[in-house]
Amino acid sequence: MRNHVVGLVSIAVGTLGVFLGACSSSNSGSGTASSSSDFIDQYCSIYAGCCGAESYPSDGKQCRTFLSLEASGTYNAQAGNACLSALQSAAQKDPTWCVDDTADTNRACDGVYGNTKGGSVQPGGTCQSTSDCAAAPAGDTVDCRDYFGSGGASTKICQVWVPGKAGDACGGTQTTLAGGGTETSFNGSEDSDGGTFPSQIVICNTADGVTCSSTGTTGDTCVALGQPGDTCQSTDSCVPTAYCDFGGTSKCVARVADGGSCTASSQSCVANDYCDSASSTCKATLASGSACTTPQQCQSDDCTNGKCGAGLAGFGLGILCGSPTSAGDGG
């Protein structure tokens, strides 16, 4: 199953990307941007083709206005050029990649704007949003993390997340989703009643080949993702080319190729495939506009009115393109 949320690029807090990376027609822009204004112009030119293809305005006006207002921090020309190159390459390979697959470009566009401004709240201080928090040290990220209490109340603090490596004590795992973007899960209790709120924790990132495991005798520790044959707790604890065989061996097993049987697990298919419940076989996910009966069939994980739609990417397209130019699901 594909997850269509492709990392918004929280430009204001330091990472560029915009809900779905970008789509492009073609060869707009030179791929070299020495200034922030050059970068925004080329980024939005690349985006224009996708906006038009999905029945949104394609003049790039909304994109330029939005990014000009939201971009903060220092522009990194090297990172900007790498981002533009990744977007152009993806667009040349697949005109609909902004809806279908943006994992690589989302990652490539991280770091275009450094969060040198930040808020004023120091790590451990209370916050309402991440923009309240002071900038994290280079290489780290900061988050306004919500700790929930048993009575329904919550405590939100600025917390620095340090990338973990194998052997580090850790507090959670960040997972790169199949369609781009990330989700973070935390080890241990998040109950605020009587608890402590650490100002800094180590987060293991599956994109770096590690996950935060609580199976050892030394507490939660970053460990390498399991290879086929290794014992596993969840599919996220295995390398991307494997899944966790819960019902059988509780070991990481190589994913099933297109056309193979997925009877053992609905998560067993290779990337870009889904497990068809009717035939119990792995089948390729469908592009935007294709006929569908379930979200799992769609690359966007969105089946609306019998067709694969834009999913949450439609929200991102609305932010960067403007209101749709015609009714429909954008697909």
- Is residue 112 located within the same domain as residue 41? yes
- Is residue 161 located within the same domain as residue 183? yes
CA distance 299 to 59: 27
CA distances from 224 to 54, 171, 239, 269 (A): 40, 15, 9, 22
- Domain boundary among the residues 198, 224, 250 is at 224
pLDDT at 96 over 50: yes
User: How confident is the model over 30-38, as a mean pLDDT?
Assistant: 81
- Is residue 175 located within the same domain as residue 94? no
The mean of the pLDDT values for the chain is 77
CA distances from 72 to 11, 14, 117, 279 (A): 7, 7, 7, 50
- Domain boundary among the residues 224, 249, 280 is at 224
- Is residue 88 located within the same domain as residue 152? no
**Residue 275, domain member (yes or no):** no
pLDDT at 11 over 50: no
Q: What is the pLDDT of residues 143-169, one digit of tens each?
A: 899 888 777 788 899 999 999 999 999
**Residue 80, domain member (yes or no):** yes
- Taking 3-state DSSP, the helix, strand and coil percentages for the chain, each rounded to the nearest 5, stand at 25, 25, 50
| Residue found under tokens 């006006």 | 61
At 201 the pLDDT is 93
pLDDT at 325 over 90: no
Phi, psi torsion values for 76, nearest 5 degrees = -105, 105
Q: What is the pLDDT of residues 258-316, one digit of tens each?
A: 999 999 888 899 988 999 999 999 999 998 788 999 988 987 778 889 998 766 666 66
At 271 the pLDDT is 84
- Is residue 156 located within the same domain as residue 185? yes
Domain range holding 199?
130-224
- Domain boundary among the residues 167, 190, 224 is at 224
Mean pLDDT is lowest, of 42-46, 117-121, 251-255, for 117-121
**Residue 145, domain member (yes or no):** yes
| Type of residue at 127 | C
The structural domain count of the chain equals 2
CA distance 321 to 317: 5
- Is residue 108 located within the same domain as residue 144? no
Phi, psi torsion values for 105, nearest 5 degrees = -70, -35
**Residue 67, domain member (yes or no):** yes
User: How confident is the model over 98-116, as a mean pLDDT?
Assistant: 61
**Residue 287, domain member (yes or no):** no
**Residue 109, domain member (yes or no):** yes
